[in-house]
């Protein structure tokens, strides 16, 4: 397993990170433990969660993902051997069950969120603590166009970084990251850090896959030059790039069958592009999901590829891509399809 350094920290993470948002919803605690055991056996040391998980967010399952990780670490006695990332939720009208709806990044709420995550994780420190999405109004989760909102009722970014920095100083978190962030937001945090001596942002967790490559436009250069690598989430585009939804199929128990409200990768252009990429993989004797993951793994700006699975068979297939290198012909063909279907699922 390739090991990368997280930003400018001394934290070493496996290039494949196991996402755990299904734990406590689509996966039981026992299934989550089995997945994490398998991942560790294949060299993975990096696990990602969030206070909002299980997915999709609802009161009865909120925090379950962290709880499953916590019981696993306690049972295995391996806290020092793994890197745990989690996230603080930002403002959201449908998540009032989290911290009584006080979803801002001020000193009080950051401290409260950290303490609750530590309790669920059954640990006294978090390796990487990330803002799940910006507190300010910005484009994320596939929002198109841009409507500017003047500085409103949101915590100033220097105050946000200071609140997170207090938790670093207290030894409760080791590094800070952002998620679903824009180029301006990431650079603003880095500028504040340089000016004030507060902790730098070590990573950015944004979507990246064959159907959603907006990260390359501006954030890729920042990730490399600022040593703030990508933690790529949804590398299989909500499962579409496996090919299992081809020809309108919706398998029983699949994420799209369970949560049809999430349509980012199921719009007409996305469906057409998916068919093309799946066809390309099969023409070259490749599993579509493995080609998609290997493409993400090949990016220079990547720190870790966050894979997820609901079964150990799926997980094994994903883990097998660690040493997979796509041929020059396949990469050229991917480039040609990208020109034909540019950003079909932003």
Instruction: List the catalytic residues.
Output: 53
**By C-alpha distance, which of 192, 158, 200, 157 is closest to 175?**
200
Q: Are 5 and 304 in contact (CB under 8 A)?
A: no
What is the 3-state secondary structure of 227-246? CCEEEEECCCCCCHHHCCCH
Task: Compute CA distances 98 → 58, 101, 112, whole Å.
Answer: 9, 6, 11
CA atoms in the 13 A half-sphere facing the CB of 123: 30
CA 56 from centre of chain: 14
Tell me the sheet residues that pair with 84: 47
DSSP state of 88: E
Segment (H or E) for 205: strand 201-207
Residues 6 or more apart in contact with residue 71 via CB below 8 angstroms: 29, 33, 122
The b-or-e profile of 336-345 (16+ CB within 10 A means b, else e) is ebbeebeebb
């Amino acid at each position: 397993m390739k090991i990368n350094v997280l930003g400018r920290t001394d934290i070493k993470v496996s290039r494949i990170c196991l996402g755990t948002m299904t734990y406590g919803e689509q996966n039981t605690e026992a299934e989550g433990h089995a997945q994490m055991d398998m991942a560790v056996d294949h060299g993975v040391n990096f696990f990602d969660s969030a206070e909002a998980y299980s997915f999709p967010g609802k009161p009865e399952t909120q925090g379950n993902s962290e709880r499953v990780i916590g019981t696993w670490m306690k049972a295995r006695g391996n806290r020092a051997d793994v890197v745990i990332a989690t996230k603080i939720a930002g403002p959201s009208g449908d998540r009032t069950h989290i911290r009584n709806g006080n979803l801002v990044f001020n000193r009080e709420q950051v401290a409260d969120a950290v303490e609750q995550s530590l309790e669920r994780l059954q640990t006294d420190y978090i390796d990487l603590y990330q803002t799940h999405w910006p507190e300010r109004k910005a484009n994320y989760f596939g929002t198109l166009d841009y409507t500017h909102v003047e500085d409103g009722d949101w915590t100033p970014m220097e105050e946000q970084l200071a609140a997170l920095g207090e938790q670093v100083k207290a030894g409760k978190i080791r590094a800070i990251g952002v998620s679903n962030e824009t180029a301006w937001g990431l650079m603003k945090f880095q500028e504040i850090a340089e000016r004030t001596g507060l902790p730098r942002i070590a990573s950015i967790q944004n979507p990246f896959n064959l159907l959603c490559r907006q990260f390359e436009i501006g954030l890729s250069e920042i990730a490399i030059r600022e040593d703030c690598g990508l933690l790529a989430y949804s590398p299989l585009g909500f499962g579409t790039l496996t090919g299992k939804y081809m020809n309108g199929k919706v398998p029983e128990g699949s994420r799209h069958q369970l949560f049809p409200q999430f349509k980012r990768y199921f719009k007409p252009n996305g469906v057409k592009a998916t068919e093309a990429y799946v066809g390309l993989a099969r023409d070259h004797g490749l599993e579509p999901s493995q080609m998609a993951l290997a493409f993400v793994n090949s990016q220079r700006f990547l720190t870790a590829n966050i894979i997820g699975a609901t079964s150990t068979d799926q997980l094994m297939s994903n883990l097998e891509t660690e040493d997979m290198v796509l041929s020059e012909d396949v990469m050229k063909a991917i480039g040609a399809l990208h020109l034909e279907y540019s950003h079909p699922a932003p």
